A and B are shown apart, each in its own frame.
Chain A
Amino acid sequence: MKQSWRLGAIGLVFAGLFGVLLLQLWRVQVTEAANYEAQAAQNQVRLVRTPAPRGDIVDVKGRLLAGTRPALAAVVDLGLVPEAAIPDLAQKLSAFLGLPASEIQQQLTEAGSADQIVLREDLDERQALFLVEHREDFPGVAVIPQPVRSYPEGDLAAQVLGYIGRPNKEDLERPDVKGTDFVGKAGVEDFYDEQLRGTEGLIKYQVDARRDVLASLGEIDPQPGSNVRLTIDADVQRQLQDSLDRGLRFARKLEMEERAKALADRPAAQRLAEAAAELAAEAEAAVATASADEDASDPQPPHELDPGTVLGPVWDRLPIDSEGVCVPVERHTVDIGETVVLSGRNPRTFRLLAVDGEGARRRATVEVAGEVIEVGDRDSFATNLRVVDLAPERIIVTATDKWCPVRTVGVVEDPRDGSIIAMGSQPTFDPSAFVDGLTSEEWEKLSSVAAFTNFAIQGQYAPASTFKAVSYMLAIEEGIYPLDRPIDDRTLGSGTEGDSVAAGDEEELKPLTSDLDKYNCTGSFRFRFNDGSSQVFRDWKRSGHGPLDLHEALEASCDLYFWEIALRIWNERDAEGGIGNENLFQEWARRFGFDQPTGIDLPFEAKGLIPDREWFRQEQAKGSGRVRADGTWVGGDLMNAVVGQGDVLVTPLQLANAYSAMVNGGTLWRPRVVEELYDQDGNVVDERPRQVLGTIDLEPASVESFRRDLGLVTNGPIGTARGAFADFGPNVEKVGGKTGTGEVIKAPRAEHEFQVDNAWFVGVAPIDDPRYVVVVVVERGGSGGKVAAPIAKQLLQFLMNGPDSITPLAPGEDAD
């Protein structure tokens, strides 16, 4: 037995192995037993979530705008699908869903194994029945109730309602949001998402390892979300959208008439010569296949502002619709071999011959009107055509028309408490489309015209002459009026110092002291700068308005009168005992809520801009390109600002809210679109309180005179909206307003023809006790009096005289 130590060693090793087992068993069964017990308990319980119905959204009178209807959805619970079965399941689902199997497989593989994936929402009865009957063929697939959002009124108030969709990464960070939920993405659906969503219910099941349900262990019912009552009145909203829609077409027709007139006005020989030059330039552009680094979001015809650009042929090729009316963006997706006809007065054919190359370096060979050219991604070619995307087999091209009225925006506010009665912009969309699923084609088409954006709160525009109301209030409250007439050839320093009125003139001038004193509007005046250069400031009415007081200046929208107020402030900015406040105007503007969001209960509100010296300096330091690189804030900048031009930006809502404060006696309300939240039994759970943002100390007399003067704009002998309101019908004396024409493209090169203006109208009714403030903007529409005022007129007719009183849209006077 001399080897017996070896057997002893083996015995020890075995004892050691058994000892390790015993220790591990002790750890698992005694030390950490509680942990495993919990896991065992959890193993047997399966929680099934029952979605809470989303709260309804109704208008101020309780009419349903967004509701839910019961529906069934097909979901797959990946915890129930063995990995090996996924390809087979994907294959079977492919036939059922009509999607490529590879796509489904990818989706199933990518999701975490415990995830529930929604395969298809809103199954029809046949589909649901098929799935239930063929359960064995679709392991892990279940049919569950999932209410579907519905918008019974289609696109009515769509931009206020917003839409819902699957949560993005950011949404998923909220504690109660899961991937299978729907969350608000815009509008009230977004802003009140938490209240609308409610709390989902749970059903607890005991299950075995195969997840077969053995028993139900209890149920928590879902808590439906709160319902939302808007301040929106569906009738007014419908009228607003109808008028904005008609108004947009109306503005486009007017634009086409203007183009025709401009063409006809020019001598034939000149047009021929220009056409030849244009064709030559176009051929050159085709060879060069213009720059690739232009900003894609704002496609521009390549030659638009080049000297020598000829309007005729370009206009001939700008996109038009079937009725011969301009369209801002014409978009085509063209497959290889496909031919599309590009619209325009001279239609051209476009054929995609080939796409080749890789990634960013793709090139396409296309044939336009018989000429074969090569273009790259994002190229502009052939006047206004542009490539926006090159995919392996297709090309997306747009034809843009920068002169074509692109959109109409409107707001109706109750100045008594800031409630928004109607709001929106045209073109708009139907939120149901998001529930049913948009094709990428539809999505691109709608997003290329920004249909999902509520321009009433997100659009920022120069308010133009509508802003004269601020200067009006300032003048009458502060007692700052112009001198009695303009001084020509004044010296105005380009720097900060030395700007002054020429001494020789001063004795002959009398500063006005009252709103009734007359100022002699001569139509223009000239500045001579210290460096010898000069600039002429011209009123929109070249011939001038003649003598007018403050009231008539507002009525006729005299630029000179308000410029003179700016000059008074500028020249006396350092004066002892005088004005002594360079920012007086900006302060007044900010008091009315400009330069800051109004705080309306909607997401994505823009804040606008009131420029001043400080802002100017900051922009210059940033090098943003928004301001001159040299020099400082000068009097000319202030002159621009008082007439709502230059760098002033406002949202249509800000303007409506400011006018509301002006006509209600000085109370600046926080605008709101939601009246109250109420539960399923109709009990109000959140009475959205009316909030005052600020009170502006206005003399009752000022308010009264302002209202009266607004009335003169529509009714007075020199009112800029007189023409537009001529066919208003009864109660015309009770409506007032203010026009505005905002230059979009500054410093037009050619007289008149290149001018692209935003048209504004702010309406107030009834002027003796205002209940409605209406703002209408026509983007690139032309003059406020001609285009915007008629649209606002229809709304005011509806509000004052009822739906039967509305007269057709007809162009008003071409007045600022």
Chain B
Amino acid sequence: MAMRTDEPARITLLQRERPLRPDLFLVIPYMMLSGLGLLMVYTASAPRLEALGIPPDRDLKRQAVFVVIGFIVFGVVSMIDMRTIRGWVPAIYGSSLVLLVLVLSPLGEKVKGAQRWIDIGPFQFQPAELAKLAVVLGLASLLASAGSGPLRWDHVARAIVLVAIPAGLIFLQPDLGTMLVFGFMAIVMLFTSGATWRQLAFLSVSGVIGAVGLFQVGAIKEYQITRLTAFLDPAADLQGARYNQYQSEIAIGSGGFTGKGLFNGSQTNLRFVPEQSADFIFTAVGEQLGFIGSALVLALFGIIVWRILVAAVNAKDRFGRLVAVGVASLIAFHVFVNIGMTVRLMPVTGLPLPFMSAGGTVFIAMSAALGLAHSVWLRRSPVPGERAIE
């Protein structure tokens, strides 16, 4: 601090020359992950498509379109000032609720027992991905108004209601993974905005009681529990409940330290891992690029999360900081749960790997989220020199 007050003029000048210089530590890893994601989607989908007599680059092209759109969305969102965005929060939150209701209506499409998609022409839209953004923004807006100092109980209560409404709608799809994301983000954001330990303990206990209650009244089915706990049971039926996880573990483990090389993965080429280009895209990394590739991916995500947290620290206002923290927790949680499930640390919950898993909504939504964090960084405080002007 002392240094800054000593040399205000020079820094102010620099900053004012290029006030919106992008955070390359954020943007470059984002683009690297997206590019690697495209390559992995291709290696994982080509053998399947080829076997079906479909051009093997179909999924690659499709995902490339999403990546381009995602990049544009990232850039545009980065440009928008947080205060502007804060004004849109009620509209974003409200429309995401409407979409969550729509997906449950006959407009929504049921796939494998879950109603998560709305068809828009050749593409499918997943309202849950948008809802994640809406929850981050809604919570940030609500908690930003709380003022500094210990959080009041009425804010906690309002935060619960704000999360519970979309969570309830998502529970009906059902999509347990997204509910867990909400819970994680809510805890992290409440913690950031000064929730007391008692409030956090209360939230945890009521969360557990709520889950047990839902199970007791039969809203959570036995098989859902089985699926969540099967990964803990080494004797679980490897051909049944644990087949996906078992095969993905083999894929990653057989990659070894250096990997089998691109297009050389037997698990990938012979289609042993189901859903590989979507939720299990990391297995393609693990098998083909080995521990080196896995560690690289993990490092890139680590850098992104680190940069977002740095943005939070330097945020100009509470809203921006909370948005950044929310985005950081969103990405970190997705990464941990997704990669964790491929190596049997976590149950299979169907959370995609940000920027890499095939899928349009998730890529665009994650890009928008990253754009929000980037926007916070671009308008950070103190933007060097700004304090001097004040």
Contacts and interface: CB of A to CB of B under 8 A. Distances in A.
Contacts of A208: 51, 270-272
Interface stretch (B38-46, B68-76, B163-171, B246-254): B246-254
B298 A21 contact: yes
Interface string B243-271: 00001011111111100000000110011
B332 interface: yes
Contact of B345 (A3, A20, A33, A209): A20
A33 B345 CA distance: 17
A325 B306 CA distance: 101
B343 A25 contact: yes
B192 A3 contact: yes
Interface in B320-351: 321, 325, 328-329, 332, 335-336, 339-340, 343-345
Contacts of B253: 28-29, 32-33, 35-37, 39-40
A690 to B, nearest CB: 55
Contact of A36 (B51, B254, B270, B309): B254
A39 B325 contact: no
A17 B344 CA distance: 14
Contact of B266 (A1, A33, A40): A40
A207 B249 CA distance: 19
A533 interface: no
Interface in A1-45: 1-4, 6-7, 9-11, 14-15, 17-18, 20-22, 24-26, 28-30, 32-33, 35-37, 39-41, 43-44
Interface stretch (B56-64, B127-135, B289-297, B370-378): B289-297
Contact of B256 (A3, A29, A207, A210): A29
B332 A14 contact: yes
Given A44-B266, A208-B271, A209-B270, A28 B191 contact: no
A458 B176 CA distance: 69
B312 interface: yes
B81 interface: no
B300 to A, nearest CB: 11
B103 interface: no
A44 B343 CA distance: 21
A15 B274 CA distance: 30
Interface string A191-217: 000000000000000011110001000
A29 B191 contact: no
B291 A30 contact: yes
Contacts of A18: 298, 301-302, 305, 332, 335-336
Contacts of B286: 25, 28-29
A14 B256 CA distance: 26
Contacts of B257: 29-30, 33
Contacts of A114: 239
Nearest to B324: A7
Q: Is the interface of A mostly helix, strand, loop or mixed?
A: helix
Contact of A7 (B192, B254, B267): B192
A488 interface: no
Q: Which of A1, A14, A30 gathers most chain B CB within 10 Å?
A: A14
A66 B325 CA distance: 81
B237 interface: yes
A44 to B, nearest CB: 6
B181 interface: no
Contacts of A41: 266
Interface residues of A, number: 41
B188 interface: yes
B240 interface: yes
A40 B267 contact: yes
Interface in A66-98: 79, 83
A44 B340 CA distance: 25
A117 to B, nearest CB: 15
A21 B339 CA distance: 7
A10 B192 contact: yes
Contacts of B29: none
Interface in B276-324: 286, 290-291, 294-295, 298, 301-302, 305-306, 309, 312-313, 321
15 contacts: A4-B313, A6-B191, A7-B192, A10-B191, A14-B309, A18-B332, A18-B335, A20-B336, A25-B286, A29-B257, A36-B250, A40-B251, A43-B266, A43-B267, A43-B270
Please name the 7 residue pairs, one residue from A and one from B, whose CB atoms are nearest each other, closest first. Answer: A36-B253, A40-B254, A208-B270, A29-B291, A209-B272, A33-B256, A17-B336
Interface of B: 51, 148, 188, 191-194, 237, 239-240, 247, 249-257, 266-267, 270-274, 286, 290-291, 294-295, 298, 301-302, 305-306, 309, 312-313, 321, 325, 328-329, 332, 335-336, 339-340, 343-345
Interface of A: 1-4, 6-7, 9-11, 14-15, 17-18, 20-22, 24-26, 28-30, 32-33, 35-37, 39-41, 43-44, 79, 83, 113-114, 207-210, 214
Given A7-B313, A21-B335, A28-B253, 8 more contacts: A10-B309, A10-B325, A20-B336, A24-B345, A33-B253, A40-B267, A44-B270, A209-B273
